Amino acid sequence: MSPLVALVVGLLVGAVLAAVALLRARRPAARVEGAARAEPSAEPALARRLLDLMDPAVVVLGVDDAVLLANPAARALGIVRGTRLVVPELLGMVHEVRSDGSRRGDVALPGALVGSGPRLVGVHGVRLESGTVPGPGPVALVLQDVTEARRLEAVRRDFVANVGHELKTPVGALALLAEAIEGAADDPETVQRFAKRISHEADRLARLVRELIDLSRLQGADPLPELQPVEVDTIIAEAADRTRTAANAKGIAIAVGGQRGLVVRGVEPQLATALTNLLANAVAYSPEGTRIAVAARARSGFAEVAVTDRGIGIPRTDRSRVFERFYRVDQSRASSTGGTGLGLAIVKHIASNHGGSVTVWSEEGLGSTFTLRIPLMSPGTGTSEHEQVPAGDGEDDGAPAGRVGAPQKGRT
């Protein structure tokens, strides 16, 4: 726990102690003097008001595990029902705190309880010493939602591990090939073959470094460059031109169609990169002699550009993860396709930064359709029709009837 978080928790616990102490101190006085003669004090009300205004959830439980106090944040989490704590893990922590005096840990809250999906909360439990009443005092729990923080920590760890692994492969291959060339100095044909392999690995390493830099910029805090009118036809033509050489090498035809003349607001190089990545994936995972379709259309204020292939398809269990960094559906094909596992992650962030989204429809053996959605420019205003929309990177369970270029079942 960071010093700042520890300080906040300390203040919270102090406030809880003050509230409970004040409440306990006032009650005996009221019994002795009588309700009619006791002058109401503002201190307990102020302490309770302070707890109610706090973002972290605070719960105070008595010796019988009954809830003495719960602020609105705690009740919003759904962990309190009436006077009872309904999460067994939290109750277990209360019993440990009662024995040890203090406890910290993370507790998972089920999605059905919270109502907004599973959450992870960091819990700091403290036993409140009882000054006037014999026996153990109440226990205070301070809960902070750490779901996003833990997710970012895991992503950062995975990213470092994945980068190290991905860099080791081409670097190790270059070292071995250099040794092989040195040992085959008297065999020009072997040297030439190994030199081609070195060139291939060097290109792969350069592409990985370039994509890491691109992804870092897209995810950084730097503002997006000034958005300009961008013709969708130009983006499609540029992306098709970039991938045509690789497609021709496999005898794959790239067919361009759909609605023409669409204009969006964006950064043309980024949008061209996003569409190029989608086309490059389609080429890499399509059989030789097949066809890839690229089509655009206007729908609900967005320009939708769909890239459809007749490739191997994506298993249902992998569709929700294909936009993750370094994730590959078929690890065994990574070296043969030359992919880095970053292309679709870059597409997702470009779409998100432009206020759009990218989705995938796929069936194993039938092919896949990736659809890039970017807000259209409003006629005569110079602004997008959708200035802000939820950015998506999900899957479509089925191909909607109106989807541009979506493969129909039964196609091969």
| CATH number reported for the structural domain that contains residue 385 in this entry | 3.30.565.10
* pLDDT reported for residue 120: 85
Please indicate, yes or no, whether residues 246 and 357 belong to a single structural domain of this protein: yes
* pLDDT reported for residue 57: 87
Please indicate, yes or no, whether residues 276 and 309 belong to a single structural domain of this protein: yes
Please indicate, yes or no, whether residues 248 and 374 belong to a single structural domain of this protein: yes
Domain CATH code at residue 210? 1.10.287.130
* pLDDT reported for residue 391: 40
CA dihedral 333, 338, 340, 341 (to 10 degrees): -40
Please indicate, yes or no, whether residues 160 and 36 belong to a single structural domain of this protein: no
Please indicate, yes or no, whether residues 126 and 196 belong to a single structural domain of this protein: no
Give the end of a domain, one of 145, 165, 183. Answer: 145
Please indicate, yes or no, whether residues 192 and 243 belong to a single structural domain of this protein: no
- Give the per-residue SS3 of the chain: CCHHHHHHHHHHHHHHHHHHHHHHHHHHHHHHHCCCCCCCCCHHHHHHHHHHHCCCEEEEECCCCCEEEECHHHHHCCCEECCEECCHHHHHHHHHHHHHCEEEEEEEECHHHHCCCCEEEEEEEEECCCCCCCCCCCEEEEEEECHHHHHHHHHHHHHHHHHHHHHHHHHHHHHHHHHHHHHCCCCHHHHHHHHHHHHHHHHHHHHHHHHHHHHHHHHCCCCCCCCEEEEHHHHHHHHHHHHHHHHHHCCCEEEEEECCCCEEEECHHHHHHHHHHHHHHHHHCCCCCCEEEEEEEEECCEEEEEEEECCCCCCHHHHHHCCCCCCCCCHHHHHHHCCCCCHHHHHHHHHHHCCCEEEEEEECCCEEEEEEEEEEECCCCCCECCCCCCCCCCECCCCCCCCCCCCCCCCC
Q: What is the mean pLDDT of the chain?
A: 75
Give the end of a domain, one of 145, 171, 198. Answer: 145
Please give the structure tokens belonging to residue 194.
């190994």
Please indicate, yes or no, whether residues 69 and 108 belong to a single structural domain of this protein: yes
Please indicate, yes or no, whether residues 328 and 228 belong to a single structural domain of this protein: yes
The pLDDT-based confidence of 250 (bands split at 50, 70, 90) is: very high
The answer to whether residue 34 scores a pLDDT higher than 50 is: no
Give the end of a domain, one of 222, 253, 285. Answer: 222
pLDDT tens profile 296-314: 999 989 999 999 998 888 8
Rounded to two decimals, the pTM is 0.54
- Range of weakest confidence among 55-59, 255-259, 278-282: 55-59
The pLDDT-based confidence of 28 (bands split at 50, 70, 90) is: very low
pLDDT tens profile 343-396: 888 899 889 888 999 999 988 888 899 999 999 986 554 555 554 443 444 555
Please indicate, yes or no, whether residues 182 and 286 belong to a single structural domain of this protein: no
pLDDT tens profile 62-104: 888 888 888 888 888 888 888 888 888 888 888 888 888 888 8
What is the average per-residue pLDDT within 96-122? 80
Please indicate, yes or no, whether residues 358 and 300 belong to a single structural domain of this protein: yes
Please indicate, yes or no, whether residues 373 and 230 belong to a single structural domain of this protein: yes
* Total number of domains in the chain: 3
Domain that holds residue 178: 147-222
Please indicate, yes or no, whether residues 209 and 248 belong to a single structural domain of this protein: no
* pLDDT reported for residue 100: 81
Q: pLDDT higher for 40 or 303?
A: 303
pLDDT tens profile 186-226: 888 888 888 888 887 787 777 777 767 776 766 665 566 77
Task: Report which of 401, 383, 35 is spatially closest to residue 229, judged by C-alpha positions.
Answer: 383
Neighbours of 5 (CB within 10 A): 15
